A = this chain, B = another copy of it.
Amino acid sequence: SQYQYVKNFERENFLLPETYIVVRVDGRGFHRFSKFYNFEKPNDVRALNVINKAAEGVFRSVQDIFMAYGDSDEYSFAFDRSSNLFERREAKLVSTVVSTFTAHYISAWASQFDEPLKPEHLPTFDGRAVCYPNLKVLRDYFAWRQVDCHINNLYNTTFWTLVLKGGLSTQEAEQRLCGTLSSDKNEILFSEFGINYNNESEMFKKGTTIVWEEPLVGTGQSGEEPSARQVQRMAKKRSKIALQLLHVDIIRDQFWGRFGPNLA
């Protein structure tokens, strides 16, 4: 029609080829959301189960992802360096991941929570795509997220122990922890509450890393845009291969030796 020219105002951002695309999603206002649905403090296993299922949903239904990592209300998905999904169009990639993540989060909710979601308090997520040009910076990206998980979890664990077991008000706990080092928090937990932080759940301390059980040969890693038929076949294949949910150190070399991207 005479109006079609308005489509020319669309601007695409094609993400730089041969870089690792990472899409990170993060819960919007989960401070409030977690309060509203009475998440356990500092970590609610049900909530983590839900978000892990959401991540699995993305992993299975969006092509070319080789690794995901998440904790708290966030998840990061790393795409093959050679992925040409949606021609690497940024808005398509981000919106598809965010929408798929949201859908699966809601879909998985009832399996973990008795209280159903209320229309005025639905979980939503923002998303962004970032390019990392080589494996070193990609590894540093995941290290950044895992260190963040560790720092937050140690803080939250100590904070809520002080409040729930130590009887401090939240303000008092905050003040108590102000300026403390990691070693101080470990010490508080151990000497005052007999808690050895090392014995806490690995999922809480390390977050969750998702990888394929076996390498996904020929299911979307190629550079060419696959046909609709191929996409469906690959989707089916992906739906059958098992995923591994790990709670391990992803900073050190060992993980990357086993699960890192094929660099050929």
Q: Is A10 an interface residue (CB 8 A)?
A: yes
The stretch among A64-72, A140-148, A173-181 that forms the contact with chain B is: A140-148
Q: Is A225 an interface residue (CB 8 A)?
A: no
Contact B129 A4 (CB under 8 A): no
User: Is the beta-carbon distance between A133 and B19 smaller than 8 angstroms?
Assistant: yes
Least CB distance from A120 to B in Å reads: 8
* Contact status B99-A1, CB under 8 Å: no
Residue among B8, B91, B119, B131 making CB contact with A127, cutoff 8 Å: B91
Contact A127 B95 (CB under 8 A): yes
- Complex CA gap A25/B94 in Å reads 12
Option from B19, B124, B125, B144 in Cβ contact (under 8 Å) with A16: B19
CB contacts (< 8 Å) of A1 on chain B: these are 143-144, 147-148, 151
List chain B residues, Cβ under 8 A from A240.
none
B126 touches A9 (CB 8 A): no
The answer on a CB contact under 8 Å between B144 and A7 is yes
Task: Find out whether the CB atom of A13 lies under 8 angstroms from the CB atom of B16.
Answer: no
Given A98-B98, A128-B91, A16–B16 Cβ distance below 8 Å?
A: yes
Q: Which of A25, A127, A147 has the most CB of B within 10 A?
A: A127
| Complex contacts, A137 vs chain B, CB 8 Å | 6, 9, 18
Instruction: Indicate whether A124 sits within 8 Å of B96 (C-beta atoms), given known contacts A19-B16, A130-B10, A147-B3.
Output: yes
Nearest residue (CB) in B for A123 is B103
Residue A261 CB within 8 A of the other chain = no
A26 to B: closest C-beta gap in Å: 9
Contact between chains at B98 and A95 (CB < 8 Å):
yes
In the bound complex, how far is the Cα of B132 from the Cα of A10, in angstroms? 9
Q: A13 is contacted by which of B13, B57, B132, B239 (Cβ under 8 Å)? A: B13
Assess whether A100 is interfacial by the CB under 8 Å rule.
yes
Task: Please name 26 pairs of A and B residues whose Cβ atoms are closer than 8 Å in the assembled complex, sorted by A.
Answer: A3-B140, A4-B144, A5-B140, A6-B132, A9-B16, A9-B18, A9-B131, A10-B128, A10-B130, A19-B19, A25-B95, A61-B124, A91-B129, A92-B126, A96-B124, A96-B126, A98-B98, A98-B99, A99-B127, A100-B122, A100-B124, A103-B122, A103-B123, A107-B122, A120-B239, A133-B133
